[in-house]
Amino acid sequence: MENVAHQGTASTEFESLRKRLLRLDGPSRNAFALVCAERLVRRAPANIVGQLSEALAVGWSVAQGQEGDLASTRAHLEQRADFDSDPVAAAAYALGAVGGSADDAWQTASRSLDSAFDRIEYPVDASTFRPLAIDMATPVVQAELRWQDHALTMLEGSGPSADVIKHLRV
């Protein structure tokens, strides 16, 4: 019974983040998605960082009102053999967010959370399927949740100003 309660708490926390993200205006959602994707790309294997960074640069260009071909850049990412890896998928979803999909903005944030769960270091004798509450309490997942909360708070308060974006991209 305790697991259900903890899973409900985790589900509530995820849903709270999702609702806050979806309430943001389009430019703020775009910035959030792009920054989430950039954070994942920085952790990606070195051989793909440049390619993914170029794709995200197209997203930033369009988000800032400049030229860029979101559709073909995203299609290129979706055709990759490693599309389901968190950094590649997050980059593609971030481009979708810039293209107007609020759901893609949430998918980008979800991939960031998935990546945090994937970085949990399990003890040798750990159960394969531990309660979500245990994994939620790990430092790596808590750090990601705190970062997302911080980013959303900044964007809710000031929008995607140059200063906010600069701060979040660090």
Q: What is the CA radius of gyration of the chain?
A: 16
DSSP 127: -
Higher pLDDT, 170 or 153: 153
As a whole number, mean pLDDT of residues 129-134 equals 83
Cβ-based neighbour number of residue 82 at 10 Å: 12
d(CA 166, CA 153): 15
- Which amino acid, one-letter code, is at 145? L
Rounded to two decimals, the pTM is: 0.90
User: Can you give the pLDDT at residue 7?
Assistant: 46
Q: Where are the alpha helices (DSSP H) in 43-130?
A: 46-63, 70-78, 86-98, 102-118
Higher pLDDT, 36 or 3: 36
Q: Report which of 147, 83, 23 is spatially closest to residue 95, judged by C-alpha positions.
A: 83
Local confidence band at 35 (pLDDT 50, 70, 90 cut-offs): very high
> What pLDDT digit, counting tens, does each position of 56-101 carry?
999 999 999 999 999 999 999 999 999 999 999 999 999 999 999 9
Residue 19 has pLDDT above 70, yes or no: yes
> What pLDDT digit, counting tens, does each position of 120-130 carry?
988 888 767 78
3-state helix, strand, coil in the chain (%, to 5): 75, 0, 25
Domains detected in the chain: 12-168 (1.20.1590.10)
Distances (CA, A) of 125 to 3, 73, 129: 20, 43, 12
